[in-house]
Structure 1
Amino acid sequence: MNPTRYTRTPYLIVSRDLGPRKEIYGSIGDAVVLQAQLLRGDEPSTTVVIGMHPVGSPGYLPAFSQLARAGHHVIACATRYSMGDAALQMENALLDLAACVRDAKERLGYERVILAGWSGGGALMAGYQAEAEKRVITRTAAGEETALAETELIPGDALAVLAAHRSRHHLLTDFLDPSILDEDRPDEREPELNIYDARNPNQPPYTDEYIQRYRAAQHERNNRITERALSRLSALRSTGRGVEDHCFVVHGTMADLRWLDPAVDPNDRIAGHSYLGDPRIANESTAGLARFTTTRGWLSQWSMQHAQVDAVDSADRITVPVLVIVNSADDACPPSHPHDFFAGIQHDRKELHTIDGANHYFSGGDSRQHLDVAADLFGSWTDRYDLGRAR
């Protein structure tokens, strides 16, 4: 790839939230301020790629910068939860994406929008496109009113997902440490379900029987936390404090069998390693998924029973062209997730490609080459479907 010089222009997208509760620090009045960056070269284009992730600022993620180097116009936009996801509700993230798409078309004048999701952005983009084409969500995961039910969602003209998982709740459940049987006593753990305990007689390679037992225990723990969140929310409502929320800690969120046994959902990842480094340490680190959360945040992001945004569940509602790119050495997202999403797309305007050797963050000595492959795959796909890019 011959890289293009591009500019990076930061700007803000402002919408309104009339809800009674402040979920993010530093918000003023009813304003929702999204931090966006427009990455583009000198050549004009009527098509823009929009990248968004539920949390954090995607402007400096390598995939989106690489698309700009390849000549695409790219909007990298954060949700309102750029500072952290403790209170994140996916329904609000969909609203933030809707505001970005509308701004791109109505203010910036782009005729076509390609939704592009890396990692957790894949489920967000797929969920948005599905809702834009056929509305399903009418209330929040906590059963409360949401502006999403009344907001027009302008659909994307195409959808691309890269190194993506199917949803936050499925990903976390695969990561949950099932040896924690009581959330109030996280240090007391069941040895036979603790993959980091030398006393556990079940060691890799794991038997099918143990994998089934372990996965079932992970689902049981997810459901127990959900029941606690629902109970706490019900108690607040019963005492006239329904607009309030409750914050809590989730211990042990990096205990996927995949980290220790490469034969579980196999790909080219390194055994004993995860995208957060040593999984034994990450299991209790502050950087773990869902470590700090709230009742509503848990129900919307992490609950297997109540979360509503899932790429696989959304797939059969998506009718636009779809590109799925899988990194063969992904050390974060389960390789089965993008394949299940691809299988769920019901039309034939879909493509799936694998980048050999690429890990989740495109890090390591071959990272530039892997990013070049990703950009080339994306560019060829846009050409085949006449989606447009800068010329």
Structure 2
Amino acid sequence: MQEITREFVGLASPLVGRAGAGGHPCQGIYHRPKGHRPTTAFIATHYNVDFSEHYLASYLAERGYGFLGWNTRFRGNEPYFLLDHALAEIGVGVRWLKEVAGVERVVLLGNSGGGSLMAAYQSQAVEPNVLPTAGARPVEAIQHLDEGDLFVALAAHSGRPEVLTNWMDPSVTDETDALSVDPDLDPFGPRNPAPYDEEFQRRYRAAQRARNERITDWALERLDALRGTRARDQLFQLHRTWADLRMIDPAIEPSDRRPNWCYLGEPARANYGMFGIGTLSTLRTWLSMWSLRTSQCIAAPHLARITVPSLVVHATADACVYDSDADALFRHLAAPDKRLETVKSDHYLQEPDDTRSLAADLVANWVAQRTP
């Protein structure tokens, strides 16, 4: 087995200074074969998950590639996320690969939620289009980003606003009360037992979108009300975000996934727990990341600007990324050279035991066919 060198990389951000305790805003770990400087390297970043020790990093380094598991200052800091700021800090990592690591070709790896984020990065690099959120100042650093040479979407969601909306429990009647419920829309209540009929599914999906829109209305109104006060923004909570009907009812978009299951276990229990996406947010972060109306974290428009060779890898037993998500990602990609592949595994490629190695072979071989 190839021995791997791991190098910590801490870099400045074009937007904020180094922390008083000494930490750099942009941080990650560069993986490469020991004694070798790869000419092709991957970079993977997520909206808030720490990707510095990404599960494919060592596998791809063993196959001769560099892999920068890269974090912006929003790692573990989702409530304050702003897309334009994150793109500028991803650009710092891409530039380091080219100018310091000596890489000639960069592969943008969009894994899980990072699929739409890395798509947005390439989209902005190709054709600047990302705007500041709700009156914030433009970020000059995103006007001249280095483009990626290839794009890989792995077990990727279709975009933050769509994911949150699809997972939202629309039976919430009072956003300040985690227990408030409309029994006619409650997916876990006695009035609506699974399997769900088509009429209930239609009502439910419409109510999910309506809940997202109500929160957007409130966020815009609240920002308006803050003008001229001492506060520029505020935090707020979001309750119950583990209620996609597909998590509960396996008959909706059948796949190899475990029925009545989500990333945090049984949906009914997870939905009333403390952990979930979007549970805490500022007004501007809601508008930047979660709002169906205003967010630029929707993958489709960005994928339409990606023309470099592209690979979509879908895990067929993924609890919360479905066949339709992978199909949509593949369909929206503008790349003339694009491929859709599947692996029979869960979201993190943990089972069966050899899945990560097989996925690394798949990705590495695809890249090798497209690089000198």
TM-score band by shorter chain is: over 0.9
Secondary structure of the corresponding residue to residue 317 of structure 1? coil
Equivalences for 1:12-51 in 2 at 5 Å?
12-17=10-15, 27-28=19-20, 33-42=25-34, 43-51=36-44
Q: What is the distance in 2 between the residues matched to 1:138 and 1:248?
A: 23
Shift of 1:314: 1.3
Equivalences for 1:121-136 in 2 at 5 Å?
121-136=114-129
Q: What is the distance in 2 between the residues matched to 1:382 and 1:313?
A: 24
Q: What is the distance in 1 between the residues matched to 2:140 and 2:205?
A: 33
Q: Does 1:324 align with 2:309?
A: no
Secondary structure of the corresponding residue to residue 236 of structure 2? strand
- 2:147 maps to what in 1? 155
Q: What is the distance in 2 between the residues matched to 1:53 and 1:269?
A: 23
Q: Deviations over 1:335-358 (max 9, x none)?
A: 3122101111233200110002x1
Q: 2:161–2:295: 8 Å Cα contact kept in structure 1?
A: yes
Shift of 1:232: 1.3
Shift of 1:215: 0.5
Q: 1:88–1:300: 8 Å Cα contact kept in structure 2?
A: yes
Secondary structure of the corresponding residue to residue 16 of structure 1? coil
Amino acid at match of 2:196: Y
Q: What is the distance in 1 between the residues matched to 2:156 and 2:101?
A: 28
Q: 1:12–1:36: 8 Å Cα contact kept in structure 2?
A: yes
Q: What is the distance in 2 between the residues matched to 1:100 and 1:382?
A: 20
Q: Does 1:377 align with 2:372?
A: no
Q: Deviations over 1:303-360 (max 9, x none)?
A: 111110222221211110001000010113233122101111233200110002x100
Q: Does 1:353 align with 2:341?
A: yes
- 1:55 maps to what in 2? 48
The one of 65, 70, 77 equivalent to 1:77 is 70
The one of 176, 195, 203 equivalent to 2:168 is 176
TM-score of the pair, normalised by structure 1: 0.90
Amino acid at match of 1:259: M
The one of 362, 373, 377 equivalent to 2:349 is 362
Identical aligned pairs, as a percentage?
A: 36
Q: What is the distance in 2 between the residues matched to 1:347 and 1:38?
A: 28
Shift of 1:28: 4.3
Q: Deviations over 1:350-375 (max 9, x none)?
A: 0110002x1001224x13x1112211
Decide whether aligned partners of structure 1 residues 307 and 255 sit closer, same or farther in structure 2, where only a CA change above 3 A counts: same
Q: What is the distance in 1 between the residues matched to 2:4 and 2:272?
A: 40
TM-score of the pair, normalised by structure 2: 0.94
Q: What is the distance in 1 between the residues matched to 2:135 and 2:320?
A: 31
Secondary structure of the corresponding residue to residue 191 of structure 1? coil
Q: Does 1:218 align with 2:208?
A: yes
Amino acid at match of 1:67: L
Shift of 1:148: 5.0
Q: 1:94–1:148: 8 Å Cα contact kept in structure 2?
A: no
- 1:194 maps to what in 2? 186
Shift of 1:149: 7.0
Secondary structure of the corresponding residue to residue 228 of structure 1? helix
Of structures 1 and 2, the one with the larger relative CO (CA 8 A, separation 6+) is 1
- 2:285 maps to what in 1? 297
Q: What is the distance in 1 between the residues matched to 2:140 and 2:253?
A: 35
Q: 2:9–2:27: 8 Å Cα contact kept in structure 1?
A: yes
Secondary structure of the corresponding residue to residue 121 of structure 2? helix
Q: 1:333–1:360: 8 Å Cα contact kept in structure 2?
A: yes
Q: Does 1:282 align with 2:270?
A: yes
Q: What is the distance in 2 between the residues matched to 1:115 and 1:354?
A: 19
Amino acid at match of 2:11: I
Q: What is the distance in 1 between the residues matched to 2:325 and 2:135?
A: 27
Equivalences for 1:203-282 in 2 at 5 Å?
203-237=193-227, 239-241=228-230, 244-282=232-270
Q: 2:47–2:74: 8 Å Cα contact kept in structure 1?
A: yes
Q: What is the distance in 2 between the residues matched to 1:383 and 1:73?
A: 13
Secondary structure of the corresponding residue to residue 58 of structure 1? coil
Secondary structure of the corresponding residue to residue 200 of structure 2? helix
Q: What is the distance in 1 between the residues matched to 2:296 and 2:63?
A: 34
Q: 2:44–2:70: 8 Å Cα contact kept in structure 1?
A: yes
Q: 1:138–1:148: 8 Å Cα contact kept in structure 2?
A: no
Count of paired positions: 371
Secondary structure of the corresponding residue to residue 278 of structure 2? coil
List runs of 5+ in structure 2 lacking aligned partners: none
RMSD: 2.0
